Structure 1
Amino acid sequence: MWKTSIAAMLLGASLLAHAQQRPAQQVVQWQLQVMQDGQQIDSFEGTTTVGQARTDTHHRVVQHNVGCKDQPAGSIDLSRTLTVSPLRVDPEGVMLSIETQETLEDATAQRTDIGCKLPPQPRQVSASHPGLVVPPDQWASWTIIERNPNLVYRVHASAVNGNGGANGNAASAANGNASGNAASAAHGNTNGNAAGNSN
């Protein structure tokens, strides 16, 4: 019985040590607003573990009246692909790596020599920020295009608490199992010895 007790205690100690040594994976909850000429035109949000990345693509198909008869035609897919990767969390805030690729349309209307409307020309815009720091409880801004149009990303991010509780539960379970097994084994040994002496 003592062998069972020792084995249970060693197993419990091993589980406890593993729970304490395993690094907690920090999780970041973030929100990104796309601002064009001062107006919000799109938004992204997610919950991403530090060191991992999340990619989302939004599509918005627009159509314009073109030609001399001013009829609907010339559809353009104004897609926006965003990749967000939390790099670290510290007292200064959350650091994010952000990559974006946008399809924008030319704001200037084009016409033919005889005055017929032409569809706006799409253009690709790519940008990346290696480490945008979002202060605690604040919004950080990143300007993608200065003008024509003015395109700004506003970002909010915060660490999600809760992983420590998982480790704490593992440690508590390990302690509980070790204590319970040891107590059961000791109780069994005590009863066995008492019974043997009485006989």
Structure 2
Amino acid sequence: MWKTSIVAMLLGASSLAHAQQRPAQPVVQWQLQVVKDGQQIDSFNGTTTVGQARTDTHHQVVQHNVGCKNQPAGSIDLSRTITVSPLRVDAEGVMFSIDTQETLEDNNPGRTDIGCELPPQPRQVSASHPGLVVPPGQWANWTILDHNPNLVYRLYANVVSGSANGNGMNGGTSGSPNGNGAVNGSSNPN
């Protein structure tokens, strides 16, 4: 009988210690819009636990008519890969780390010496934002490219009800068109 009591006490203490080790992290529901030259061209969304990351890739295969005979040219895969990670939730909102890699087309396709149209050239754009803060109930903007084209990511977020530290905040993102913090990235032609 005393062995049963000791085993029950040890199991209870073990369960209590395990429950106190680490509180559950908040869960964040987010939506990211990709805006090119003022027009939304793509969107991503997800539900991600603070401290975890979600990566998604979207593809758009395009083909152009080129040359003096206006014949179809080879296709280009305009892919966009984003990794979104909520870092923390507090009274200021939700802070995210965002990484992106995109293949874009040049806005101004070239022409041959005799005036025949060439296909737009693809280029790679990579950028990282280490801490975009999305204030409650607002959108936050992060400018990836200022011009040719103007490329902006808009992010909105809220804490899922019932998650830890879910203080009833319906979060979103807001910011100036120039973003909210540092941008590290490059635009490299292929």
Q: TM-score range by the shorter chain?
A: 0.7 to 0.9
Give 5+ residue unaligned stretches, structure 1.
165-199
Report the Cα distance in structure 1 between the residues aligned to 2:71 and 2:4, rounded to whole angstroms. Answer: 85
Q: Does 1:52 align with 2:37?
A: no
The CA distance in 1 between the partners of 2:100 and 2:155, in whole Å, is 13
In the TM superposition, structure 1's runs of 4+ consecutive aligned residues that sit over 3 Å from their partners are 1-14, 161-164
- 2:92 is aligned with 1:92: yes
Alpha-carbon distance in structure 1 between the residues aligned to 2:76 and 2:11: 63
User: How big is each residue's C-alpha offset from its partner over 1:72-105, in whole Å with a ceiling of 9 and x where there is no partner?
Assistant: 1132111111111111111111110101111111
Contact 1:93 1:133 in 2 (8 A): yes
2:127 maps to a residue whose letter is: A
- 1:1-199, aligned counterparts within 5 Å? 4=4, 8=8, 11-164=11-164
Q: Which moved more, 1:36-45 or 1:152-161?
A: 152-161
**For this pair of structures, how many residues does the alignment match?**
164
**Larger RCO: Structure 1 or Structure 2 (Cα < 8 Å, ≥ 6 residues apart)?**
1
CA contact (8 A) 1:85 1:98 kept: yes
Q: Which runs of 5+ in 2 are unaligned?
A: 165-190
TM-score by length of 2: 0.78
Distance 1:21 1:2 in 2: 28
> 1:106, CA displacement in angstroms?
1.0
Counterpart CA distance in 1 for 2:14 and 2:79 is: 52
- Decide whether the 8 Å contact of 1:31 with 1:155 is kept in 2: yes
Greater C-alpha radius of gyration: 1
- CA deviation after TM superposition for structure 1 residue 108, in Å: 0.9
Structure with the bigger percentage of helix: 1
String of CA shifts for 1:5-48, please: whole Å, max 9, x gaps: 67545643542343244321222211100001111100011112
- Secondary structure at the aligned position of 1:74 is classed as coil
- SS of equivalent residue, structure 1 residue 116: coil
| Deviation readout 1:139-197 (Å, 9 max, x if unpaired) | 10001111111110000112223345xxxxxxxxxxxxxxxxxxxxxxxxxxxxxxxxx
Separation in 2 of the partners of 1:21 and 1:127? 36
